[in-house]
Amino acid sequence: MIASLRWIAALLLVVGLAGLCSAQDTEDADPLATVNMYRERARKLGAKGTLPSAWSKFDKRVKDARGMTRTDEEIEALETEGRALVARAAFLKDVKDSREPLEDLLGRYDQSLREVATAMGLKLDPVLTGDEAAERLVSELGRTRLTRQVASDSLRVENRRLSALAEGHVAAQDSIITQLRVELSAVQTKLWETELRAGVAEADRSAAESALTARQEREAQVKKIKTDLGADGGDVLVKADGAIVIQVPGLNFKVGEAHLAGGQGALMDLLADIVGRFPGASVRVEGHTDDTGSRASNLTLSKRRAATVAGGIERRQGLAEGTLEVVGYGPDRPVAPNSTEAGRKANRRIDVVIIP
């Protein structure tokens, strides 16, 4: 019978007894005001005697909380515990004051179970009573919830399918277009259902769309760079790995030196602006020479010239010194034969490599 009383208390707590003990509409200056109210109410209801263990634990937590900073979650937990204690104490006091026979209590318990079952559209076996009836009710409620969840999921899928078909019909303007869009909608719906079962639908579509968008944006950026450089300013190449190489033979240096000749400001401004169009990208400035002179001296000279250009870009972009990578390849990577003056001029260049 003690177990039955526990079921009664739990059942009444679920169906709303805790609502009778709701907190004040506005919280007092003391964050524990509501908690203290529940404690006092539980004390007056005799919780100390009827629920000694629960009362002792709650009373200790309230005392420990005084004078300490508590989070909103901790205070809310204390309020919930207080409401539950008041509800249980009120129930036990009502049982005690009514002096109701145990047989009548069991009848009230069974009647409450049947009322809950009726409200949920269930029917309990009239032979069952007490804890057994409660366990059966909980089991039936779980099965009912699962059945309704499955039905809800099915309705969601059907709603999506019907929405897709409806969109196809609404968008159609004439018989031919209408028929094509209906067929397309059906194919898309079947594709969506297949991908949904495989678990890859939206992720793969989003990835493909993102890759296409990125490629289109990259092509537009390369086209803009070519336009800005002009026919004589340089060339732009895109490698297989997506790196953008800007070949700039138009930057002139004094013979054998790493200082830019005069009149290079506009071209340097343009290079800095181009680099700034790729925030977060890795940038490498490469220096190249023709094969005139020793390879060792050309390697050193090409790296110094690359450092000069990198420093100019960093200053114009407000970047820290050394942000851009600097490499000197000397005569090792020609783009034209060194046997002609035109070829040697093309090989004396700076390449700015942008890796988005």
From CA 39, how far away is CA 5, in angstroms rounded? 23
Could you read off the pLDDT of 315-328 as tens digits, one per residue?
999 999 999 999 99
pLDDT, averaged across the chain:
81
Average pLDDT over residues 348-356: 91
Per-range mean pLDDT, top range of 113-127, 229-243, 262-276: 262-276
Could you read off the pLDDT of 116-161 as tens digits, one per residue?
888 878 877 777 777 787 788 788 888 888 888 888 888 888 888 8
Predicted TM-score (pTM) of the model is 0.43
- Name the residue with higher pLDDT: 13 or 90: 90
Confidence at residue 18, expressed as pLDDT on a 0 to 100 scale: 43
Confirm or reject CATH 2.60.120.260 for domain 217-355, answering yes or no.
Answer: no
Confidence at residue 99, expressed as pLDDT on a 0 to 100 scale: 73
- Name the residue with higher pLDDT: 219 or 204: 219
In which element (H, E) is residue 182 found?
Answer: helix 175-198
Average pLDDT over residues 335-342: 91
Could you read off the pLDDT of 325-338 as tens digits, one per residue?
999 999 999 989 99
* CB-CB neighbours of 205 under 10 Å: 13
Confidence at residue 219, expressed as pLDDT on a 0 to 100 scale: 81
Pairing of strands 282-288, 244-248: unpaired
Average pLDDT over residues 197-209: 65
Tell me: pLDDT of 9 over 80.
Answer: no
Percentage of the chain lying above the pLDDT 90 cut: 34
> Tokens standing for 217?
């944006």
Give the pLDDT band of residue 208 (cuts 50, 70, 90).
low
Tell me: pLDDT of 8 over 60.
Answer: no
From CA 181, how far away is CA 220, in angstroms rounded? 32
Pairing of strands 325-330, 350-355: unpaired
Cite the residue boundaries of each domain of the chain with CATH code 3.30.1330.60. 217-355
Give the pLDDT band of residue 21 (cuts 50, 70, 90).
very low
Percentage of the chain lying above the pLDDT 70 cut: 83
